[in-house]
Amino acid sequence: MPTITGTTQLLGVIGYPVKHSLSPVMHNAAIAEMGVDFVYLPWPVAPANLSTAIAGFAAIGVRGFSITIPHKQAIIPLLSEISPVAQAVGAVNTVWRTPTGWAGTNTDVEGFLAPLQSCDRPWNQTLAVILGAGGAARAVVAGLAQLGCAQICVVGRNLDKLQAFQTSWQDSPWLVNLSVHDWSELPQLIPQAGLLVNSTPVGMYPDVGHSPVTPDLLGTLPQGAIAYDLIYTPSPTEFLRQAQAVGAEAIDGSEMLVQQGAAALQIWLDRPVPVDIMGQALRQHLRG
């Protein structure tokens, strides 16, 4: 933890609960490496106290903060401006102070894309399948639209929710080749998928023995496909373990977590940040 003095500037993360957040581990490691006079703290903020907390942050000069569940949508009316990517996703995860108030963006999209951008793939010929149609899936769709995927298929179990999800992208600033599908259509979709993304919580600790799809279904993935799980603990998840067993390339959520955090810290400090140090701190912490 950095030394805290009367000149130390405050950064942090708000959520409810927030004690499980690994953001302080990553950010304080980077802050220590950079030698800047900042500290990054976890702040539990109940939903009923959100507007009071944000006003308090302005009053005490907080430089910026991260946002996690359940505030990513509720924060938006309290901001004076939000970025186009945050508007498209409908959620904010990073906020900073400006002369006219708080501004917000969504670095989850950048974090999700980071490991894919190092993969040499013909994305404009790739069909991507996303498991789940919740908030995490929105950042994935925005990222895949920027990547230029030929087709983005979102798969869920609730038809009304799927239709609302699809409708919400109609006025997107990006060309989003999006279709929605019932879970029963997976046997037709997975054999076409160059990228299969799990945005559901199935398989997350402590539910470690489960996968959102069966091994038989994963066995129908095309040769050279990528399986990407947004979950980072355990690593690998059952979903990724099974995908690797049938020859797929596996990506877990730890790189996304690090990269979205690094993008946020760069906004707050307005300088390059040691992404490798953040990754090392996260991996060391997860190993215990």
φ, ψ at 110 (rounded to 5°): -60, -40
Percent helix / strand / coil, the chain, rounded to 5: 40, 20, 40
Per-residue pLDDT of the chain (288 residues; tens, 9 = 90+): 668 999 999 999 999 999 989 999 999 999 999 999 999 999 999 999 999 999 999 999 999 999 998 999 999 999 999 999 999 899 999 999 999 999 999 999 999 999 999 888 999 999 999 999 988 999 999 999 999 999 999 999 999 999 999 999 988 877 778 999 999 999 999 999 999 999 999 999 888 889 999 999 999 999 999 999 999 888 899 999 999 999 999 999 999 999 999 999 999 999 999 999 999 999 999 887
User: Could you tell me whether strands 127-131 and 151-156 are parallel, antiparallel, or unpaired per DSSP bridges?
Assistant: parallel
Binding residue numbers for shikimate: 21-23, 68, 93, 108, 232, 260
Spell out the residues 6+ positions from residue 254 whose beta carbon is closer than 8 angstroms to its own.
232, 235, 279, 282, 283, 286
| pLDDT given at position 276 | 97
| pLDDT given at position 161 | 94
Q: How many angstroms separate the CA atoms of 287 and 92, rounded?
A: 29
Tokens describing residue 264: 């946020």
With beta carbons less than 8 A apart as the criterion, state whether 115 and 195 touch.
no
pTM above 0.85, yes or no: yes
With beta carbons less than 8 A apart as the criterion, state whether 50 and 74 touch.
yes
Catalytic pick from 72, 115, 126, 217? 72
**Shortest CA distance to 237 belongs to which of 218, 223, 260?**
218
Binding residue numbers: 21-23, 68, 93, 108, 132-136, 230, 232, 253, 260
With beta carbons less than 8 A apart as the criterion, state whether 65 and 12 touch.
yes
Q: 254-269 vs 108-117: helix axis angle to the nearest 10?
A: 120
**Shortest CA distance to 27 belongs to which of 288, 283, 282, 284?**
282
| pLDDT given at position 205 | 85
With beta carbons less than 8 A apart as the criterion, state whether 258 and 26 touch.
yes
With beta carbons less than 8 A apart as the criterion, state whether 14 and 47 touch.
no
72 is catalytic: yes
Q: How many angstroms separate the CA atoms of 156 and 185, rounded?
A: 10
Binding residue numbers for NADP(+): 132-136, 230, 253
Q: How many angstroms separate the CA atoms of 19 and 4, rounded?
A: 20
| pLDDT given at position 164 | 94
- Residue located via tokens 């005490």: 60
DSSP H or E run through 56 = helix 50-60
**Shortest CA distance to 196 belongs to which of 134, 153, 237?**
153
